[in-house]
Structure 1
Amino acid sequence: MSAAPGLPALEPIVGRYLSLDFEGRRYRVYFEEAGEGIPLICLHTAGSDGRQYRGVLTDPEVTRRFRVIAFDMPRHGKSSPPQGFEAEEYRLTRDFYTAFVLAFADALSLDRPVVMGCSIGGRLVLNLAAQHADRFRALIGLQSSAHVAPYYDTEWLHHADVHGGEVCAGIVSGLVGPDAPAADRWETLWHYMQGGPGVFKGDLHFYKVDGDLRQRIAAIDTGRCPLFLLTGEYDYSCSPAETEEVAAMVPGALCIIMPGLGHFPMSENPDCFLAHLRPVLDRIAKA
């Protein structure tokens, strides 16, 4: 229900914290949710947080059938780093990321949820499809590729001579589609400007080094778990050709190239993205 003219609108999103014991450490994990029905876990991009999924969380067509859950990975957004973080260098690995998503789903007792992830989340979706397909009802990869060739020096993302947040936003600014509304473009970049020191760089260890999945893609069986790949056409970090290459290796995968969108479709232009997402969710709900 929309608010009357002149009155503030109260969004249906509820935010909570989860204390999660994982691999010998306790993590205080923040997540937001809205809706009811089939659980839909949303994974944010490198260096950002779950606020990217605001458009999905507030869409009544989605939330009337899906319980949308967007959580901040440790060190991101409102999720705290674990105790002792100040004495270590953060580097996200494939095994940690995979196991953490499974542990989060188990902690909330989610029965065969759908997982949708973008960028590093989209890469993680492919690993879930290859190794844990039976745990999920369906998997949705946004800007999903099996690997990426390094195209810039990540040392500048955590360097005393630059402003960390602004350089992170500067790096990703060219990945936003040219048709993105100005307000959504700058909100997407603002999330990057607020990132913790070294977090974006640490995430890219997974994206550029430890998350190379080229040898695992052939193991994906869409008969066990449907796989949907949605990629914006304006993206040099995960080009349409790279997503199409993954789809060609996975019989039964549905690949959709989204015109006008870039690397952050769910936050840079939510209305346009939802027009592509809703039919996919319809298929999942009816399956």
Structure 2
Amino acid sequence: MLLTVDDRDAYCYTGGKPFDATLPTAVFIHGAQHDHSVWVLQTRYFAHHGFGVLALDLPGHGRSKGAPLASVGEISDWLLKLLDAAGVRTATLIGHSMGSLVALETACRAPSRVDKIALVGSAYPMKVSDTLLDEAQHHEQHAIDMVNIWSHSGIAQKPSSPGPGFSVIGGNRRLMQHIAAGNPAPVFHTDFVACNSYTNGDIAAASVRCPTLFLLGQQDMMTPPRATASLIKAMPAARVVRLDNCGHALMAEQPDAVLAHLFDFAVGRT
């Protein structure tokens, strides 16, 4: 589905069903150098089980036009405009990595618009090393390779992978290359700078009153579970789930477990 935000096309995948704003809405927010496709299993299930789904492509990513936005705050403001364009009053926000910071900031800026937030592969501060920032700016393919190594718990595929011979790591690598090829702007570097420069996490977390889920990978080297300590402390009522045999690419490495936890949280079973 194409919407218009700031006079530019904004694409949202709706899970294989027409979007219905009268249903409870689940908004899925991807991370750096990704697009809506990282949520394909989860979004299709949500859309066929009672939710209106908006799995967005952030500006400069996938099918959404324009340059990538430079800060988490700018992305949050853009997201609220997208909800307006879709006719959505309130939504459950589900964000991965950079997208988790966007969900958190949006719940702080517009609490009346957010029913629940799920923070997947999150951390705060979400610092990016100087080496990785430099590689993303000057040697993007090197940065893609580095992140792919650090985002997965191992090279062997899990039983929940689509089938023999399927490469989770290879699929993620090709997606990141596709995002790089689709926009002349330095998308990866811009995304990393947005993560690295976000400083409102503690204040935002302390302000959140809606139900919150942390979904973390035990073997995550990009956003280690211990890096969520300050956020979890600020939200003592939040539910925290740590998935074993799982790195930063939770939706690819443990897709069924991620779906089960997210859906149970969204419908209020946890």
- 1:93 to 2:71 alignment: yes
- In 1: Cα distance, 2:106 partner to 2:84 partner: 15
Amino acid at match of 2:108: A
Unaligned runs of 5+ in 2: none
- 1:55 to 2:34 alignment: no
- 1:171 to 2:146 alignment: yes
CA displacement 1:179-228 (0-9 Å, x = unmatched): 5544333222221111235101001111011x123441453232xx1111
Identity of aligned residues (%): 20
User: Following superposition of structure 1 onto structure 2, how do residues 102-113 of structure 1 map, counting pairs within 5 Å?
Assistant: 102-113=80-91
Would you say the 8 A contact 2:104–2:205 is kept in 1? no
TM-score (norm 2): 0.84
- In 2: Cα distance, 1:139 partner to 1:258 partner: 18
TM-score (norm 1): 0.79
RMSD, aligned CA: 2.2
CA displacement 1:65-84 (0-9 Å, x = unmatched): 212211111110111226xx
- 1:185 to 2:169 alignment: yes
User: Counterpart of 1:212 in 2: which secondary structure?
Assistant: coil
Q: How far 1:155 moved relative to its partner?
A: 2.1
User: Following superposition of structure 1 onto structure 2, how do residues 252-271 of structure 1 map, counting pairs within 5 Å?
Assistant: 252-271=237-256
- In 1: Cα distance, 2:53 partner to 2:115 partner: 14
Amino acid at match of 1:191: L
Task: Check 1:283–1:244 CA distance in 2 against 1; reply closer, same or farther (3 A cut).
Answer: farther
- In 1: Cα distance, 2:244 partner to 2:255 partner: 13
1:86 equivalent in structure 2:
none
User: Following superposition of structure 1 onto structure 2, how do residues 123-142 of structure 1 map, counting pairs within 5 Å?
Assistant: 123-142=101-120
- Structure 2 residue aligned with 1:117, among 95, 118, 136? 95
2:134 equivalent in structure 1:
155
CA displacement 1:161-186 (0-9 Å, x = unmatched): x4x3x324212112123255443332
User: Following superposition of structure 1 onto structure 2, how do residues 67-82 of structure 1 map, counting pairs within 5 Å?
Assistant: 67-81=52-66
Which has a greater percent of helix? 2
Would you say the 8 A contact 2:59–2:66 is kept in 1? yes
- In 2: Cα distance, 1:148 partner to 1:256 partner: 19
Amino acid at match of 1:114: T
1:195 equivalent in structure 2:
179
- In 2: Cα distance, 1:218 partner to 1:95 partner: 14
Q: How far 1:46 moved relative to its partner?
A: 0.6
- In 2: Cα distance, 1:248 partner to 1:62 partner: 33
- In 1: Cα distance, 2:259 partner to 2:64 partner: 26
Amino acid at match of 1:157: A
1:13 equivalent in structure 2:
none
- In 2: Cα distance, 1:248 partner to 1:137 partner: 21
